[in-house]
């Protein structure tokens, strides 16, 4: 069942332009309602990672980790269609336009093993990867939905660290210092 909207409090504006209450407590991740049917394990996995999950209608992403980071999930076998079909290509363009840090997660949908799938994909779909890089979309590879859950949880933790950084650019305390340095190196 979809989660209820957050309680009233401070608000933030999402990349899609809607105002949302900024909840206190666990990091909140917004999941598009379409993911309820497509990936029922995704919600349970994110909650198991200690994240607060709110289902809502997202215009340009499957998952929103923060106002800066939106994710679109694709199976590796479906990814090439996003170059050939204009409506699907528009979805990727919308992701890139709405979020400062757009992320595309390519799922192999198979258990762990030698990641020949990633190598094969890279070799056979260089034009797709080049187009994504030109749009400044980060690409993550995942074997399964559980791997995707772990990637989303990691991004949510990193974004929590970014939002905790003070106005002077310094981390608020020593516990965030290592994460802050790592974020700065990759920014």
How many Cβ atoms from other residues are within 10 Å of residue 125's Cβ? Answer: 17
Q: What is the pLDDT of residue 80?
A: 74
CA 32 to chain CA mean position, Å? 11
Question: Residues 88-114: pLDDT tens digits?
Answer: 788 888 999 999 999 999 888 665 554
pLDDT score at 144 = 85
Q: How confident is the model at residue 181 (pLDDT cuts 50, 70, 90)?
A: low
Task: Note the pLDDT of residue 85.
Answer: 82
**Cα(159)–Cα(156) distance, integer angstroms:** 5
pTM of the entire predicted model: 0.69
88, 159, 39, 22 alpha-carbon torsion, rounded to 10°? -100
pLDDT at residue 55 greater than cutoff 90 = yes
In this structure, the strands spanning 63-64 and 28-32 are antiparallel
Ranges 35-39, 66-70, 177-181: which has the least confidence:
177-181
Most confident of 99-103, 106-110, 134-138, 163-167: 99-103
Of 142, 148, 150, 177, give the one whose Cα is nearest residue 161: 177
């Amino acid at each position: 069942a979809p989660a209820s909207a957050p309680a009233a409090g401070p608000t933030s504006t999402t990349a899609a332009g809607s105002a949302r209450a900024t909840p206190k407590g666990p990091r909140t991740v917004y999941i598009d309602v379409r993911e309820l049917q497509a990936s029922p394990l995704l919600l349970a996995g994110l909650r198991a990672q200690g994240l607060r999950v709110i289902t809502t209608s997202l215009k340009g992403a499957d998952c929103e980790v923060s106002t800066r980071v939106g994710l679109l999930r694709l199976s590796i076998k479906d990814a090439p269609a996003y170059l050939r079909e204009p409506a699907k290509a528009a979805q990727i363009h919308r992701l890139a336009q709405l979020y400062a840090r757009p992320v595309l997660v390519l799922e192999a949908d198979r258990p762990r093993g030698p990641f020949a799938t990633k190598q094969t994909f890279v070799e056979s779909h260089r034009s797709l990867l080049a187009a994504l890089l030109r749009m400044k979309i980060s690409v993550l590879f995942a074997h399964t939905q559980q791997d995707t859950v772990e990637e989303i949880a990691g991004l949510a933790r990193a974004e929590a660290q970014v939002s905790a950084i003070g106005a002077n650019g310094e981390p608020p305390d020593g516990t965030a210092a290592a994460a802050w340095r790592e974020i700065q190196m990759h920014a």
